[in-house]
Amino acid sequence: METKNDKTVEEKNITTDKKQSRKNFLRNTGAALLSGGFLASMGFPFQSKANDLGAPTNTDPASTSIFSLPKVNRVAADPTDIPAPIKRRSSKTHNITLESKEVVAEIEDGVKFKYLTYGGQVPGPMLRVRRGDTIILNHKNLTDNTMIHNVDFHACYGPGGAADATICPPGQSKKVKFKAMYPGAYIYHCAVPRMDYHISSGMYGMILVEPEEGLPEVDHEFYFGQNEIYTDKAAGTKGLHGFDTERMKAEDPTYVVLNGEKYAITGNRHGALTVKKGDTARVYLVTGGPNVTSNFHPIGNVFTKAWREGAIASEPERYVQTCQVPPGSCGIFEMDFPVPGPVKMVDHALTRVAKKGMLGIINVEGAKEADIFDPDIT
């Protein structure tokens, strides 16, 4: 067990970096030896005894890196807190700041975990642009953080999806400019050498590139993210959970969650969503993974339209019951709500719902429609 006076090799490097230039920091920490070329060329921190590049050398929850981080009451992104649909018919330039932020929060009541996030939420903020727009992205790695971070945009034509251009240690920032050349819903995520650990801990989000003509009007839009979390304690065990790299290698998650927490978007946690009978909704799902494919299904409903892989320029599939959204991808779905009652958004690998936390609820309010569904027939 470390004491508060102990530091991991990475933490010592980060402390030194705050006194040195980035060039000296990268020279002292060395280059990560990773297949694929560009990561090795970027000078990521390398520790020969570590089981995680881009992570502490151990997962002891008493690490000083845990105790020094801010504590927050919620990391689950509000599914309704997304940018409004785009009405303009001309291109523009967006100046967007995306903050890498490490925090401690609860996966479920009494179960604490060190999350790695963009903007302190899981999934990270939904970004919304139009095809042909230019994005000037400022990636800030906050001073209190303990690790190097970056951003890989699947919506970006460019080496590493801008990952190599946005990498920086704590206390620094990097800017990159790119044009949104193709429409659709695309993931962005951290892409340091241990990207699987960073993504599992919450570092992913969605950028929506609307087509030039925009999207049809709906009454609601909701934004969800699915990922799995691997911890060193059994699910539900009270206290601070460390990250378990061996469980991740075995692809045996402790939790599979919607918006970062167990049952986050339900009445038992942060509250269900609400719509009116007869409303329409567009649902966006980004699957961070890093390993598990979502089998996205609305219990008591179907997707009236579905764009797999977020390919909004394609013709939609109609009346889809369950749609796979693999790690590193997105889905766009439209739904009708003709009858009242709860619609449960789940992964239809149902053990993930019953045992691991993958559930969100949309409550439909309104009078009974007995011609469509009558639960009281005698």
**What pLDDT does 378 receive?**
81
Dig out the tokens for 287 from the structure. 């699957």
Q: How far apart are CA 334 and CA 265, in angstroms?
A: 19
**What pLDDT does 66 receive?**
63
pLDDT tens digits along 327-338: 999 999 999 999
DSSP three-state, residue 39: helix
Q: What are phi and psi of 140, to 5 degrees?
A: -110, 125
- DSSP letter at 283? E
**What pLDDT does 26 receive?**
39
Cα separations in angstroms, 117 against 92, 122, 142, 179, 243? 27, 6, 11, 24, 15
Q: How far apart are CA 202 and CA 224, in angstroms?
A: 13
Task: Enumerate the β-bridge partners of residue 336.
Answer: 280
pLDDT tens digits along 243-274: 999 999 999 999 999 999 999 999 999 999 99
**What pLDDT does 67 receive?**
65
| Residues 288, 227 contacting (CB under 8 angstroms) | yes
Average pLDDT, the chain: 87
- Tell which phi-psi region holds residue 354, choosing left (phi > 0), alpha (psi between -120 and 50) or beta: alpha
**What pLDDT does 46 receive?**
31
| Residues 112, 298 contacting (CB under 8 angstroms) | no
Q: How far apart are CA 53 and CA 50, in angstroms?
A: 7
| Residues 191, 160 contacting (CB under 8 angstroms) | yes
Q: How far apart are CA 75 and CA 217, in angstroms?
A: 29
- Full pLDDT tens readout for the chain, 378 residues: 334 344 333 333 333 343 443 443 333 333 332 333 334 333 333 332 333 344 443 343 334 456 678 999 999 999 999 999 999 999 999 999 999 999 999 999 999 999 999 999 999 999 999 999 999 999 999 999 999 999 999 999 999 999 999 999 999 999 999 999 999 999 999 999 999 999 999 999 999 999 999 999 999 999 999 999 999 999 999 999 999 999 999 999 999 999 999 999 999 999 999 999 999 999 999 999 999 999 999 999 999 999 999 999 999 999 999 999 999 999 999 999 999 999 999 999 999 999 999 999 999 999 999 999 999 988
SS (H, E, C) 62-76: CCHHHHCCCECCCCE
- Closest residue by Cα to residue 56 from 190, 146, 150: 146
**What pLDDT does 68 receive?**
75
Cα separations in angstroms, 371 against 103, 166, 307, 344, 377? 50, 56, 30, 22, 11
- Tell which phi-psi region holds residue 278, choosing left (phi > 0), alpha (psi between -120 and 50) or beta: left
| Residues 359, 349 contacting (CB under 8 angstroms) | no
Q: How far apart are CA 71 and CA 192, in angstroms?
A: 24
